[in-house]
Amino acid sequence: MTGAGTVGRVPFELGEEYVQDPHALYEALRADGAVRYVLLPSGLRAWLVPRYAEARALLADPRLRKGRDAIVAAFVRQYGPPTGDEDFPLTGHMLETDPPDHTRLRKLVNRAFTARRIEALRPRVREIVAGYLDELAASAPGESVDLIARYAFPIPVTVICELLGLPFADRADFRRWTAALLSVEDDADAGREMAGYLTGLVDAKRAEPADDMLSALIRAGDDEDRLSQHELVSTAFLLLVAGHETTVNLIGNGMLALLRHPDQLAALRADPGLLPGAVEELLRYDGPINLATLRSTAESVEIDGVTIPAGEFVMIALSGANRDPARFAEPDRLDVRRPAGGHVAFGHGIHYCLCAPLARMEGALAVGGLLDRFPELRLAGDASTRLRWRDSTLIRGLTELPVVPHA
Ligand code: HEM
Integer-rounded Cα radius of gyration of the chain: 21
pLDDT tier for residue 85 given thresholds of 50, 70 and 90:
low
Q: What pLDDT does 386 receive?
A: 86
What span, in angstroms and rounded, lies between the C-alpha atoms of 209 and 217? 10
Enumerate residues 6+ apart whose C-beta is below 8 A from 4: 300, 307, 309
Residue 145, H or E segment: strand 145-146
Q: Which of 260, 251, 222 is nearest to 108 (CA)?
A: 222
Q: Which ligand 1 atom lies nearest to the CA of residue 66? A: 16
Q: According to the model, what pLDDT value does residue 167 have?
A: 85
As a whole number, mean pLDDT of residues 258-273 equals 96
Surface-to-core class of residue 127, CB atoms within 10 Å of its CB (0-12 exposed, 13-18 middle, 19+ buried): exposed
Q: Where are the domains of the chain?
A: 12-404
Q: Which residue's CA is the closest to the ligand 1 atom numbered 23?
A: 246
| pLDDT tier for residue 104 given thresholds of 50, 70 and 90 | very high
Pairwise CA distance, residues 251 & 364, whole Å: 9
> CA 39 to CA 27: how far, in whole Å?
18
Which of 166, 355, 358, 394, when mutated, tests ligand 1's pocket best, judged by the most ligand atoms within 8 Å of its CB?
355
Cα of 39 vs centre of ligand 1, distance in Å, is 25
Task: Tell me the pLDDT tens digit for each residue of 155-172.
Answer: 999 999 999 998 878 888
Is the pLDDT score of 83 beyond 80?
no
What's the whole-model pTM score? 0.95
**DSSP 8-state code for residue 305:** T
Task: Please provide the average confidence, as pLDDT, over all residues in the chain.
Answer: 92
Number of H helices, E strands in the chain: 18, 11
State the closest ligand 1 atom to the C-alpha of 349, by its place in the atom list counted from 1: 15
- CATH code of 12-404, in short, is 1.10.630.10
Ligand 1, pocket-test mutation among 58, 108, 213, 246, most atoms within 8 A of CB:
246
